[in-house]
Amino acid sequence: MSRSAAPAVAEPQSGSVKAVPTRRRAAFVVGLLFCFMLINYADKVVIGLAGVDLIHELGLSKEQFGLVQSSFYWLLAVGSVLGGLLMGRVKARWLLAGAGLLWAVSLAPMTGSIGFGLLIACRVLLGFAEGPATAMATAVTHSWYAPEKRALPTSIVVAGAGFGPLIASPALTWVMLRFDWHAPFTVLCVAGIAWVLTWVFSGGDGPMGTARATASGAGTILPERVPLRALLGTRTVIGLLVLFFTSYWSIAVKVTWLPLYLREGLGYSAGQSGTLVALPYAAAALFQVLVGLVSAALSRRGTSSRVARCLFAAALAGVGGLSTVGFALLDRGIAQLLLLVVGASLTSAGYGIAFAAISDVVPARQRGAIMGVVVALYSLGGIIAPLVLGGLVESASSAAAGYSHGFLVIGVLVVVGAAVSALLTDPERDAARLAAAH
């Protein structure tokens, strides 16, 4: 079968006679994984939505709240690596269900009175359990689709990260205003348990996750296994890691500090903030799906993976970084809000196609491990960014000045990371080198 005629869902090349799953089955799993990422990011953003009331009830300083936000990332890298390693050893049905159950457990204490120490412990556990979420979701998605078909479903799954805060911000803000700041955590705890039960009975790996010789999106047949050091040392993986790490600063700050920035830095009310904070996530979700469609169309026309995935993702991040610099320099108004939305959304819009590019140079059996390591490394930016911004706000002459300085630094960092990534990445080149060497 020619590359252009490859089916959307194919059976393994191992010679087994397993029935080919239907497209409907694959699409249903993608829908579940989309919800997985949606809940994942709703869990992340809820602490920011409740931040003002939480700070008041517990008597926290801005630096202490920055510590709370940063604590989410303390064990995220550990969880990401562990989850990635388990991907090849534990069935996805049970691995993802276990992660989702831990999410619910970590949220449960927040439904009632809580102290500063327990609050930190809950965020650490949530970060550990959510660390491998992106790697696991994308690896399972890739197990259901042929290489040239992965860009769109991966982008849809990753778009759940945008829809989570998009839905959660206004909905959970309404719940909080209607009841108290504890109520949104109850809602998310119940939603997490409901997803776990659905996944256990309906989810699982696809047929391509166990393929021995893997056809990459770069058009090269990859060996069954390649030493992890060789995979992590490819310029493509390094370049994408740089892109992920720098752009994740923007994502982490958006999740942790954006609601407070809108209220304290720009003077919006709690209700207005709950609505406005959803705009960047709405734009991100829309862009992620559109980017997946465009990248898939480019691949069908024979465009290289370097252009259709790597350079495309780097360009999106670069524009997002420039927009972040722009809104940091402007005063409150429509122009600033527009640049804020563009900056906060485009930095993550290329994540789906960037993860697809990783699969172009990584054998099927090793994707979970490599993606876990990549997520672990770039998530370190999530530890640093909230602390840096919290320190800048605390030491500045005004909250607005501190926020502006912090976002300016982050915007410049994202632009530099995008440029470095564009120079390094080339899946066709690196897949051919790996195939020839191993």
Per-residue pLDDT band at 210 (split at 50, 70, 90): low
User: Coil, helix or strand for 16?
Assistant: coil
Per-residue pLDDT band at 7 (split at 50, 70, 90): very low
Alpha helices in 330-426 (DSSP H): 334-349, 351-359, 367-378, 380-395, 399-424
Within a 10 A sphere around the Cβ of 388, how many other Cβ atoms?
A: 18
Residue 103 pLDDT > 60? yes
Can you name the residues that pair with 215 across neighbouring β-strands?
221
Give me 34's structure tokens: 């989309």
Residue-wise pLDDT for 397-406, tens only, equals 777 778 888 8
| Between 2 and 227, the higher pLDDT residue | 227
**Which amino acid is residue 390, in one-letter code?**
G
Per-residue pLDDT band at 14 (split at 50, 70, 90): very low
Per-residue pLDDT band at 107 (split at 50, 70, 90): very high
Mean pLDDT, the chain, rounded, equals 82
Query: How much of the chain exceeds pLDDT 70, in percent?
Result: 91
Most confident segment among 103-112, 119-128, 189-198: 189-198
In 292-392, DSSP assigns E strands to none
pTM: 0.72
What gap in Å lies between CA 167 and CA 169, rounded to an integer?
6
| Between 319 and 73, the higher pLDDT residue | 319
Per-residue pLDDT at 218: 52
Distances (CA, A) of 436 to 13, 219, 272, 310, 430: 20, 14, 57, 22, 10
What gap in Å lies between CA 204 and CA 430, rounded to an integer?
30
Can you name the residues that pair with 248 across neighbouring β-strands?
none
Per-residue pLDDT at 105: 93
Sign of CA dihedral 90, 92, 98, 103: positive
Per-residue pLDDT at 187: 92
Q: Read off φ and ψ for residue 223, nearest 5 degrees.
A: -70, 170
User: Coil, helix or strand for 342?
Assistant: helix
With beta carbons less than 8 A apart as the criterion, state whether 66 and 261 touch: no
What gap in Å lies between CA 38 and CA 45, rounded to an integer?
11
Per-residue pLDDT band at 419 (split at 50, 70, 90): very high
What gap in Å lies between CA 366 and CA 8, rounded to an integer?
21
Residue 227 pLDDT > 90? no
Residue-wise pLDDT for 129-183, tens only, equals 988 888 889 889 988 887 778 878 888 898 887 787 778 777 888 888 888 888 9
Residue 317 pLDDT > 90? yes
Most confident segment among 82-91, 148-157, 228-237: 228-237
State the average pLDDT over residues 278-295.
Answer: 85
| One-character DSSP codes across 235-273 | HHHHHHHHHHHHHHHHHHHHHHHHHHIIIIIS---HHHH
342: number of CA atoms within 13 Å, CB side?
Answer: 18
State the average pLDDT over residues 330-346.
Answer: 85
With beta carbons less than 8 A apart as the criterion, state whether 131 and 83 touch: yes
Query: How much of the chain exceeds pLDDT 90, in percent?
Result: 26
State the average pLDDT over residues 194-211.
Answer: 82
Give me 260's structure tokens: 């407070």
